Amino acid sequence: MIEFQQHVMDNVDYRADRKEVDRQVDQVEALRVERRGITAVSLAFARPGITAIAIEGFTVESRHIRSGAYILSRPLVLVAPVPPTPEAKAFMDFMLSPEGQAIVARRFVPLSSGPPK
């Protein structure tokens, strides 16, 4: 990941003997074995014994993720056809509701100011 290399590794090249793992769940498991390993995974995959690092002084906190200050984050996106089916619209409406956002907050960073307009 180029952003990680630029902002965390100061543009130092990755080691030639590095192991690349595709699935986030497998990346977390690899970190359990490799004490000096690094990876970029979603907070949903955080586990005891794995430490999230601050980048450019910003820690992995909801406020830093929402503001964009913690640069290694990405939004959770819901996608549906236009116009959405009634079921898809009902699902999206629910996920943007306080109840739905409570579910999102279990593993991800919820919206801070309600659903987008």
pTM over 0.85: no
- Residue 49 makes CB contacts below 8 A (sequence gap 6+) with 32
| Helix, strand or coil, per DSSP, at residue 58 | strand
Q: How large is the average pLDDT for residues 43-67?
A: 85
Res. 108: pLDDT tops 60: yes
DSSP alpha helix (H) spans, 1-117? 2-7, 24-33, 62-67, 86-96, 98-104
- Sign of the torsion formed by the C-alpha atoms of 75, 19, 61 and 42: positive
- Please give the pLDDT value at position 42: 79
